[in-house]
Amino acid sequence: MKASRKRENASLRAIEDSALFAYTKKSKIRWFYAFVPFKVSTGGTSTLIPLLTLEAGGSAQEVGVINAIGSIASMIGGVFWGKLSDKMLKRKPFLILGFIGTSLFSFLMAFSRSITQLMVLNFLYSFFIAATIPIPVILIARVLKKKQLDYGIAKFNEIGGWAWVIGLILGFFLAYFLSIRQLLVVFAVVNIPSIVLGVKWIQEAPFRIERRSLGVYANYIVEKFRYLPNIMIHLPEYNKRALTRFLEFKEFYLASILFWVGAMLYFSQFPVLLKSRSVSTSEIYLAAVLNSSISAYMYMKAGIHTERRGGKASLIRGLSIRSFGFSLVLLGLSQTGTVFKLYAFVSYALAGYSWAYIGISTTSMISKLAKEKEQGAMMGFYNLISSLGAIIGSILSGFIVKAGGFFTDFLLASLLILLSIFTLMRFDVTARSRHKV
């Protein structure tokens, strides 16, 4: 019986190794580029959904709720598609399904006629996008050696990050000639090559991998705040040891949730503010291009700073820059015309600049503070807390704007970032590092 099981396991391993060899030899990382049209499409669409909400008669509250719905769908979908692909030992079909769903629901959103329809379609759109979130990480982890894993994921994110920026640039130019609904159709079509390239280039690799063994991975180089969590490959464990470790890092987690609530108070209502000041769709795209391109450009520089100065110092630097950037909007609210736009655009650019430090330093802190076997669980907690903070911030933002106006909303956003800095300062990195050993 045992001998038979051993032969069966050996046979399965041989099949997996054979599939992996073919996969690596034929494709290597070429399949990364199958995601380029998809990233261009989602990058271009990201700016349109809040604008479409306003065009359909929605208020600041509806914009906040729709942002929250996107985050909820992404959180649920990321875990759902990841677990389903693990159970079926299939990866490629779910990636292709994610590409198809992205084009389909982007196209359907262009023809939505009510806020309710838009909410439902946005949920489905974000849910299917989430199919593309956990699976690439698993494929990269299996194809590349452990020492190459960070490079592989960083390369994948770099390609996707710049494709996202290209989508925003494309939207900037097309917005001069096309309406918001026409742009949604265009970006739905732009995504179609990813379906074709995915079928051609992505090779199936039938294997099972323990997600928690992946530990910590590189962050996206661009802050895709509408599709949180960025990569949730598993939910955190809930047991006595996990609770103990959670309490040890409570200041870090508290600072994280304060940061994400504050971030989404700002990001959810920023396009609403611009539209209320008669800023054109092209100009809103321009602000997004500045935000994302600066973030992408600063990615490597922030990594060097984090390596030299440490994760905590780099994170505090990023949060400080972000708090200052958020406060610029407050100064701009009393201005009009070009002066207002200058304040708003610089604020949004600094938000992108700060993300490079925030994203990299967070990953660095987790990798250095947690034991290797606990890094995945700690990242799971961070992703869960980040998502909850983003959802809370998105929902609250609309109600705050309705009750107290944009000044109150952006003031609270800036203050919450400051509060997260003070909380983080109480976090003793040195003591936690000693506990790791």
Share of the chain above pLDDT 90, in %: 54
Residues 380, 386, 389, 395, CA torsion sign: negative
- Tell me: pLDDT of 209 over 90: no
Class of domain 7-436: mainly alpha
Query: What residue spans define the domains of the chain?
Result: 7-436
- pLDDT value for 229: 40
- Tell me: pLDDT of 25 over 60: no
- pLDDT value for 182: 98
- In Å, how far are 366, 370, 391 from 373, measured between CA atoms? 12, 8, 29
Torsion-angle region of residue 142: left (phi > 0), alpha (psi -120 to 50) or beta? alpha
- pLDDT value for 236: 55
- pLDDT value for 194: 98
User: What percent helix, strand, coil does the chain show, rounded to 5?
Assistant: 85, 0, 15
For 21-88, give the DSSP string: HHHHHHHTTGGGGGGHHHHHHHHHHHTHHHHHHHHTT--HHHHHHHHHHHHHHHHHHHHHHHHHHHHH
CB atoms within 10 A of CB 45: 26
- Tell me: pLDDT of 11 over 70: no
Average pLDDT over residues 95-111: 97
Give the residue among 6, 216, 186 at the shortest CA–CA distance from 106: 186
Segment 354-380, tens digit of pLDDT? 998 998 888 778 777 766 666 666 766
- Tell me: pLDDT of 15 over 80: no
- Tell me: pLDDT of 433 over 60: no
Average pLDDT over residues 2-14: 54
- Tell me: pLDDT of 8 over 60: no
407 contact partners, CB below 8 Å, separation of at least 6 = 330, 333
Distinct helix (H) and strand (E) counts, the chain: 17, 0
Per-residue pLDDT band for 116 (boundaries 50, 70, 90) equals: very high
- pLDDT value for 41: 97
- pLDDT value for 36: 97
Average pLDDT over residues 40-68: 95
- Tell me: pLDDT of 437 over 50: no
- Tell me: pLDDT of 2 over 60: no
- pLDDT value for 231: 45
- pLDDT value for 16: 45
Segment 161-175, tens digit of pLDDT? 899 999 999 999 999
- Tell me: pLDDT of 212 over 70: no
Per-residue pLDDT band for 136 (boundaries 50, 70, 90) equals: confident
- In Å, how far are 14, 22, 296 from 8, measured between CA atoms? 10, 21, 47
Per-residue pLDDT band for 227 (boundaries 50, 70, 90) equals: very low
397 contact partners, CB below 8 Å, separation of at least 6 = 60, 63, 64, 67, 264, 265, 268, 269, 409
Span between the terminal Cα atoms of the chain, in Å: 42
